[in-house]
Amino acid sequence: MLTDFPVYATIATGDLARARAFYEGTLGFSPEMEDEAAGVFYRSGGARFLLYQSDFAGGPAQTVATWVVDDADATVDELTAKGVTFEQYDLPGLKTDARGIAELGPFRGAWFKDPDGNILNVGTGPAS
């Protein structure tokens, strides 16, 4: 039923101006469409995501968005140089190295948080 329709990620923020500074200034996205009531849409590859104002921002303890990149190591280095701090995990089935990169079967990736605490991921693997 839904398989014929596009899907996009929605990322909540408690402070839209602060979040925009991070997504645009640090991560390099440009707004594709802005709506005062809905939020800001950004294009990423062939998909989009919505950044929107919410009193419930930063609540999820799971990954809310993943970017499939050509080189996880290079992307981690580039984002680290821009001030992004990568998470460290030592969980059953998920252990990161000193840079925050984990190997999960054919997927190699790293996790970081936006200013609201939403967990974001960059990685290489079978989804590319």
Predicted structure pTM score:
0.86
Query: What residue segments make up the domains of the chain, in order of their start?
Result: 9-124
| Sequence-ordered list of residues with C-beta below 8 angstroms from that of 111, at least 6 positions apart, any chain | 63, 86, 87, 89, 96, 100, 119, 120, 121
* pLDDT values of the chain reduced to their tens digit, one per residue, 128 residues: 668 878 889 999 999 999 999 999 999 999 999 988 889 999 999 899 999 999 888 777 888 999 999 999 999 999 999 999 999 999 998 999 999 999 988 899 999 999 999 999 999 987 65
Provide the β-strand partners of residue 111. 121
Residue 5 is given by DSSP the state: S
The 3-state secondary structure of 60-119 reads CCCEEEEEECCCHHHHHHHHHHCCCCECCCEECCEECCCCCEEEECCEEEEEEECCCCCE
The CATH number of domain 9-124 is 3.10.180.10: yes
Consecutive H or E run containing 41? strand 39-44
Provide the β-strand partners of residue 65. 120
